[in-house]
Amino acid sequence: MSLQPCRPAPALTLVNELPDHGPRIEALLNRAFGPGRFAKVSERVRELADFAPELSFVHTREDRVLGCVRMWRAACGDQPIVFLGPLAVEESERKHGVGALLVEQACAAAQAAGEAAVVLVGDLPFFGPLGFEVAPDVMMPGPVDPKRVLARRFAPVDLRGMVGAR
Ligand SMILES: CC(C)(COP(=O)(O)OP(=O)(O)OC[C@H]1O[C@@H](n2cnc3c(N)ncnc32)[C@H](O)[C@@H]1OP(=O)(O)O)[C@@H](O)C(=O)NCCC(=O)NCCS
């Protein structure tokens, strides 16, 4: 039996999302989430919020888009926030830290832009180590498991109320 060499970690290139990435991002999101992706409550937020390409990133290799994170300027009650999502990494590229890196980069950009907090709907076991915690007073514009409504604060802001447009 011959030993297989370890698969090397991929070279990472994160760049801001550009309009040209759009069709490849859509294809990645369709593969990652399937046809139910537009039924998610996060989509209701995205319909109300303003897309922030300068806070959104893609991981590319050659001309392929292998990961993406999108960010949206929104509000929670009266408090301006950034809403994160969708986040996706091509299945063959997962478990190399790309997902965590995309989240870190998007959060760093939001903080550098003076934003006070990032809110998302996701799994605490993945997002907790990235600085997110359950945000029990944040209300979403549709049914959601409250344990999956998470926030990362850059300042001591009071996050309570409905997530919607600024
Ligand atoms: C979630 C996702 C972006 C992570 O991408 P990734 O590049 O594999 O992320 P990382 O390499 O930084 O982290 C991988 C780790 O997170 C874990 N993880 C991934 N999704 C998780 C989840 N939903 N809940 C808990 N842990 C999760 C993996 O099991 C892995 O753990 P390990 O390192 O102990 O094996 C990717 O799995 C994906 O695109 N999933 C489908 C779309 C999706 O669910 N997006 C998130 C919506 S909130």
pLDDT for the residue numbered 7: 57
126 CA from centroid of ligand 1 (Å): 6
Quote the pTM value: 0.94
pLDDT for the residue numbered 13: 80
- Is residue 21 within 8 Å of 109, Cβ to Cβ? no
3 CA from centroid of ligand 1 (Å): 28
Q: What is the pLDDT of residues 142-161, one digit of tens each?
A: 999 999 999 999 999 999 99
DSSP 63: T
Q: 12 falls in which pLDDT band (50, 70, 90)?
A: confident
Does pLDDT of 49 surpass 70?
Answer: yes
CB 100 less than 6 A from any atom of ligand 1: yes
Fold of 14-164: Aminopeptidase (3.40.630)
Q: What is the pLDDT of residues 53-84, one digit of tens each?
A: 999 999 999 999 999 999 999 999 999 999 99
